[in-house]
Amino acid sequence: MKKLRGLRVAVLAADGFEQVELTAPVKKLERQGAEVTIVSPHKGRIRGMNLLVPGKKVSVDASLREVKAADFDAVFIPGGFVNPDLLRQSALALDFVRDADALDLPMAVICHGPWVLISAGLVEGRAVASWPGIRDDVRNAGGRWVDEPVMRDGNWVSSPGPRQMFAFIKGMVELFAEKMPEVSARAPLVPVRHEAPALWPRLLAGTLATAALGLGARRLALR
C-alpha cells in the first residue's frame, strides 16, 4: 500500500544540491505515491554535487514565480554546501518556506538545508538536527541544535546528512503521512462532461436540407 498516494510535495532546490540528498528521498516519495515537483528559483536544469565533485543535473518542474506554498501538501529541502546558500539569497524562496510554515505544512530538511529556515527567521525556539558545521548558525538564530540522526519538532523533521539517510527518510515519510487524511478528503477534480447534441435536431436538419435540395431540383426541371 502506498502511504503517500496523491500527496503533493515541493522539493525546494537550486544548483549545488547534494545529489544523494535529493535523489534518494525523492525516489522514496515517488514509490510511496507522492506527486513530486522540483521547485527552484529558475526554470531549466540544476546541477547536483557529490560533496565537491559535480554530479548530474535534474530538471526543474516549476519556478518559484509560478507556484506558491498553498499549491502543495508538504515541502522537502535537500542540503549541500551551495544549494541552501543560493536559496537563502532568494526572497521568493524565503517567502515560500514562511508561507509553508504558516500553513503548518510538514517540512523535511537535511544537512545544510536548515540554512533556508534560519534566513527565513523560522528557527527561533525550534529543535533542529543539521550538519555539524552549521550548529552555531542554528544556535545564533535562537534554535536548539541536537546531535541526533533525526529530529522531529512539530511540523518539521531534520537530519544531519547522508549518513543518517535511512532514518531521515523514515522520519520524513512518517511526518508526511500525517497529512494524508486531508489529502484523502480533498475533493477530486470532476471532469467536465460535454453532452452530445440530441439526435433528433440533427435528423430534422438533414431532412429539411434534403427537402430543400429536392425542391430546387424540381424547379430547375420545370424551367
Cβ neighbour number for residue 12 with a 10 Å cutoff: 29
- Amino acid residing at 31: R
Alpha helices in the chain (DSSP H): 19-31, 83-87, 91-102, 114-119, 135-140, 165-177, 180-185, 199-222
Cell numbers standing for residue 94: 524565503
Q: How far apart are the C-alpha atoms of 22 and 14, rounded to whole Å?
A: 11
DSSP state of 95: H
- Amino acid residing at 16: G
Q: How far apart are the C-alpha atoms of 106 and 140, rounded to whole Å?
A: 24
Q: How far apart are the C-alpha atoms of 171 and 41, rounded to whole Å?
A: 27
**What is the CA 198 to chain-centroid distance, rounded?**
44
Q: How many residues are present in the chain?
A: 223
> Which of 11, 77, 97, 112 is an active site residue?
112
For every residue of 22-63, which 3-state class applies, written as one string?
A: HHHHHHHHHHCCCEEEEEECCCCEEEEEECCEEEEEEECCEE
For the question of residue 112 being annotated catalytic, the response is yes
Residue 63: phi and psi, rounded to 5, are -90, 160
Query: Which residues participate in catalysis according to the annotation?
Result: 112
